[in-house]
């Protein structure tokens, strides 16, 4: 494990961290995870997966919102046409190549954060630690799927710029 001397919130601070997600749309649960992870890293990178076929909110917009909401982290849109099948080794290799190509630092990531269990395998492939953050979504009880399925009922879980866009485009 690579740590610095400053210590994180729970006593361990990592040099670099990574969060990968669609963030479609970004909600306050995502913000909780980003802030939680940022408090434990010197440099946190957030990859916003964006595909031309399956996104409900444009990837550049989602990346922009996260960059605006979390100015202390590096937010990178990762455009792709890849599927998701955690049992497909060839697909994993393509994802890892894509992520490695977009990684902005000379080293790392040293830790990968997510609220989903896939983070264990992703971290292993990076030779990094993994941290599952609020998997039960107890701190902020929302998922992007819930927002997409019933946006009007979940506006209170969206930051102002996201909420404004959702109100204008989905309601």
* Boundaries of domain holding 30: 14-141
d(CA 95, CA 104) in angstroms, rounded, equals 16
Within a domain: 118? yes
Q: How confident is the model over 10-34, as a mean pLDDT? A: 94
Residue 153 burial by Cβ neighbours in a 10 Å radius (0-12, 13-18, 19+) = exposed
Per-residue pLDDT at 155: 98
pLDDT band at 8 (very low <50, low <70, confident <90, very high): low
Within a domain: 93? yes
CA atoms within 13 A on the CB side of 100: 11
Within a domain: 171? no
Within a domain: 55? yes
Q: At 127, which CATH number?
A: 3.40.50.620
Count of structural domains, the chain: 1
Judge whether 13 and 6 are in contact, CB under 8 Å.
yes
Here the tokens at position 99 are 């992520």
Per-residue pLDDT at 31: 98
* Tens digit of each residue's pLDDT (9 = 90 or more) over 142-171: 999 999 999 999 999 999 999 999 999 999
* Tens digit of each residue's pLDDT (9 = 90 or more) over 111-132: 999 998 889 999 999 999 999 9
* Tens digit of each residue's pLDDT (9 = 90 or more) over 88-101: 999 999 999 999 99
């Amino acid at each position: 494990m690579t740590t610095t001397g400053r210590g994180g919130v729970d006593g361990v601070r990592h040099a670099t961290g990574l969060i990968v997600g669609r963030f479609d749309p970004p909600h306050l649960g995502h913000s909780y995870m980003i802030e939680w992870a940022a408090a434990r890293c010197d440099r946190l990178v957030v990859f916003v997966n964006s595909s031309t076929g399956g996104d409900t909110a444009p990837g550049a917009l989602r990346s922009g919102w996260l960059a605006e909401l979390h100015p202390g982290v590096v937010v990178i849109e990762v455009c792709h046409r890849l599927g998701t099948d955690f049992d497909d080794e060839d697909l994993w290799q393509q994802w890892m190549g894509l992520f490695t190509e977009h990684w902005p630092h000379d080293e790392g990531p040293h830790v990968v954060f997510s609220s989903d269990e896939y983070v264990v395998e992703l971290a292993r492939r990076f030779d990094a630690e993994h941290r599952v953050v609020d998997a039960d979504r107890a701190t902020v009880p929302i998922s992007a799927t819930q927002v997409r399925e019933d946006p009007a009922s979940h506006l209170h879980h969206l930051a102002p710029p996201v909420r404004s866009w959702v109100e204008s485009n989905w309601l």
